[in-house]
Amino acid sequence: MDLEGQDLVDVWNTAVRQLSADVPSAAQLTWMAETHPIGLSDGVCVLSAPHEFAREQLRRKFQDKISGALSDAVGSPVTLVITVRPDTAEPTSTSDPAPFVEEPDDVRMAPPTPRVDSSVPGNVHPLPTSNLSDKYVFERFVIGPGNRFAHAAAFAVAEAPAKAYNPLFIYGGSGLGKTHLLQAVGHYAGRLYPRSKITYVTSEQFTSEFIEGVRSGHQASFQRRYRDVDILLIDDIQFLEKAERTQEEFFHTFNALHHAEKQIVLTSDRPPRALERLEDRLRTRFEMGLLTDVQPPDLETRQAILRRKAELEEVDVPAGVLELIASRISTNIRELEGALIRVIAAASLSKQPVSMALAETALKDIFPAATLGEITADVIMDETAKYFGFSTDELCSATRTRSLVTARQVAMYLTRELTELSLPKIGEQYGGRDHTTVIHANKKIQKLIRERPALFEQIQELTGHIKARSRG
């Protein structure tokens, strides 16, 4: 049954009436009132929540009840897809003005906006490329000896999906551009083939959606979502090693897509043969197409990446400073970019041009000392909590006072910069938050350290504490 317009609103209102006895707080009632149905097609209802926090709450606490109430209202099973309206304001927090943050936005990054395509019954899928980062396009990717082949393969796949190499499997160490290439395929193919359905997902998201589908008995809509695409981009496939049942499901998804000549692109931190806990049949399928690795960039490429980044930031950075940063950080491009951002922040705060002296000072805390041991997420959490006067439990809690939100965002930012943990893993570390929350925290702090001298100083000092504790 497909519903739209007033019919859909009537069904939704009936469901909400049925639910209101179970909604205890005024805040929850407000989110509920601000949540609207977008479409109901082939047993899948797409809801639009006012913000990410509401979406999470609705998903965690009310998903089953809402599905049940909607199923009752239409007389057949209904699966829910909850999205967040882009560009809506964050919920406001109630107390504690923070010293340097205006708004307590723990989360803000629009997830893919599913649409109900009425021309294809039952098709609920993300708009092409809607959950891709704008930054991760081919135009911003600097080519060097370590990534030339991977770049060429990704480019070829975007130009001729399912014709060039299928699957394309890109592997390599942390922060070397795998996600960037994967999403660039999505952007470019989306431009060349605007009608194609392109889905980007991390294997962790795929796993949790699958589990959710099983739990709620709605596997069919999950399967439809992933089998009805033209290009499937799956990031960090190594996490499937830990999820046996999802491996089975992914095997069928893979076969269905491959058989239908749809393109699959995968990234991993290791080549398929090193994914030891992966079923053989999946490993062999991953090896069926083209395998390509990304290697750490050489000095020249590192400088070129920094030059490009400085141009994009519209900041004049002398060649000597680029060389200084590039010569000290060699294995992770994320860290390389992080160092440049701090130098630019230091210059902008002190209202000086970027110079060697300024760069040396700004970077003294973050260049790894020779004897530095591994920096762990636990140490970062512990030091950040201490620094801002909170407990680690508070950092992981749902409390959203301004100062706590900032401390939490700083902790996530430093974990992203100083460890190799994936975005979902960092989210997990901080009370099971969504990976989009971590992306948001990272962006937010990158922006704030340029605007607020106090926060910049605090983060420099805190990084020093973390590094000191991690010295071997």
Ligand X SMILES: Nc1ncnc2c1ncn2[C@@H]1O[C@H](COP(=O)(O)OP(=O)(O)OP(=O)(O)O)[C@@H](O)[C@H]1O
- Per CB under 6 A, 180 contacts ligand X: yes
The residue range among 15-23, 139-147, 256-264, 428-436 that interacts with ligand X, by the rule CB under 6 A, is 139-147
Q: How many CB atoms lie within 10 A of CB 1?
A: 12
399 lines the binding site for ligand X (CB under 6 A)? no
Burial state string for 60-82 with b = 16 or more CB within 10 A and e = fewer than 16: eebbeebbbbbbebbeebbbbbb
178 labelled binding-site residue: yes
Q: Is 386 annotated as a binding residue?
A: no
**Residue 419 Cβ vs ligand X, minimum distance, rounded to whole Å:** 10
238: which DSSP letter? G
- Least Å from the CB of residue 380 to ligand X: 16
- 175 forms part of the interface with ligand X (CB under 6 A): yes
Should residue 339 be labelled a site residue for ligand X when binding is judged by CB under 6 A? no
CB of 297 to ligand X, least distance (A): 7
Contact 401, 95 (CB under 8 A): yes
**Is 50 near ligand X (CB under 6 A)?**
no
Reference 155, options 170, 145, 176; nearest CA is: 170
- d(CA 111, CA 109) in angstroms, rounded, equals 6
Distance in Å, CB of 319 to ligand X, minimum: 18
Closest distance of CB 431 from ligand X, Å: 21
Q: Does 39 bind ligand X (CB under 6 A)?
A: no
**Distance in angstroms (rounded) separating the CA atoms of residues 261 and 256:** 9
Encoding tokens for residue 243? 């999820």
Closer to ligand X at the Cβ: 204 or 337?
337
174 sits near ligand X (criterion: CB under 6 A) = yes
Of 151, 141, 170, the closest CA to residue 233 belongs to 170
Q: Which of 67, 83, 130, 147 binds ligand X (CB under 6 A)?
A: 147
- The residue number with the shortest CB distance to ligand X is 177
Give the N- to C-terminal CA distance of the chain in Å, as an integer.
63
Report the nearest approach of ligand X to the CB of residue 147 (Å). 5
Binding mask 184-223 for ligand X (x = CB under 6 A): ----------------------------------------
**Helical H runs in 329-371?**
333-350, 356-363
Least distance to ligand X, CB of residue 189, Å: 17
User: Residues in contact with ligand X, total (CB under 6 A)?
Assistant: 20
The answer to whether 425 is annotated as binding is no
- Among 354, 468, 452, smallest CA distance to 418 is for 468
How many Å separate Cα 219 from the centre of its chain? 24
**Stretch touching ligand X by CB under 6 A, among 56-64, 134-142, 316-324, 443-451:** 134-142
Q: How far is the CB of 239 from ligand X (least distance, A)?
A: 11
Structure tokens at 26: 């005024």
Question: Please, which of residues 67-96 interact with ligand X by CB under 6 A?
Answer: none
Q: Which range in 58-66, 171-179, 184-192, 431-439 contacts ligand X by CB under 6 A? A: 171-179
Rounded Cα–Cα distance for residues 5 and 13 (Å): 12
Angle between helices 5-19 and 26-34 (to 10 degrees): 170
What burial class does residue 140 get, using C-beta atoms within 10 Å of its C-beta: 0-12 exposed, 13-18 middle, 19+ buried? middle
In three-state secondary structure terms, 79 is strand
Q: State yes or no: 179 annotated in a binding site.
A: yes
Question: What residues between 292 and 321 interact with ligand X by CB under 6 A?
Answer: 305
Query: What residue type is 67 in one-letter code?
Result: S
Binding positions for ATP are 175, 177-179
Report the interface residues with ligand X, using CB under 6 A.
Answer: 135-136, 140-142, 147, 174-180, 269, 305, 333-334, 337, 420, 422
Binding positions are 175, 177-179
